[in-house]
């Protein structure tokens, strides 16, 4: 299996609901350094997994909607805790939509799996990985 990974980041404010979160129930924030890794069994005719430039642009676009925002104000996240693992899934879903929408180019249709990792500090990260059922 081949893969290509690109990195970007975004910076947000949010708060959590639930005793398990302790002081993180207060409004605070985070920098998330994001790795998006794209997997496929065979390279395309150009010898690539995906156009790395378009992958980087798609990741930037996926993060731009959150960047410099207070996630508590976003109706999309109403009633949800925007934990690092939850946000990894959100970015995964946005990149899946970008691939299906053709934003990563024709070659990207060969992508079979993705892994999105959000590093929230030098000691903690979270990830979501899954297959890309393009028929979904």
The residue ranges that bind a second copy (CB under 8 A) are 1-9, 11-14, 16, 18, 20-24, 26-33, 43, 46-49, 51-53, 56, 67-70, 80-86, 88-89, 105, 107, 120-130
Choose between 32 and 62: whose C-beta lies nearer to a second copy: 32
Minimal distance, residue 97 CB to a second copy, in Å:
19
What is the C-alpha separation between 47 and 87, in angstroms, rounded? 31
Choose between 53 and 97: whose C-beta lies nearer to a second copy: 53
What is the C-alpha separation between 3 and 35, in angstroms, rounded? 12
Minimal distance, residue 80 CB to a second copy, in Å:
6
Q: Cβ(4)–Cβ(48) under 8 Å?
A: yes
Minimal distance, residue 54 CB to a second copy, in Å:
9
Choose between 77 and 100: whose C-beta lies nearer to a second copy: 77
Strand 2-14 versus strand 113-119 pairing type: unpaired
Please state the φ and ψ torsions of residue 124, each to the nearest 5 degrees: -150, 140
Minimal distance, residue 107 CB to a second copy, in Å:
7
What is the C-alpha separation between 131 and 3, in angstroms, rounded? 13
């Amino acid at each position: 299996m081949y893969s290509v990974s690109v990195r970007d980041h975004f910076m947000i404010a949010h708060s959590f609901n639930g005793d398990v979160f302790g002081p993180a129930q207060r409004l605070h924030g985070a920098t998330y350094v994001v790795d998006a890794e794209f997997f496929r069994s065979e390279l395309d005719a150009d010898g690539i997994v995906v156009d790395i430039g378009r992958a980087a642009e798609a990741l930037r676009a996926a993060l731009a909607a959150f960047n410099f925002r207070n996630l508590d104000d976003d109706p999309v996240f109403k009633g949800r805790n925007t934990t690092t693992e939850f946000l990894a899934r959100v970015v995964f879903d946005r990149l899946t939509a970008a691939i299906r929408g053709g934003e990563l180019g024709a070659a990207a249709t060969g992508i079979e799996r993705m892994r999105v990792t959000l590093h929230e500090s030098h000691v903690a990260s979270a990830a979501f990985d899954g297959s890309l059922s393009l028929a979904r």
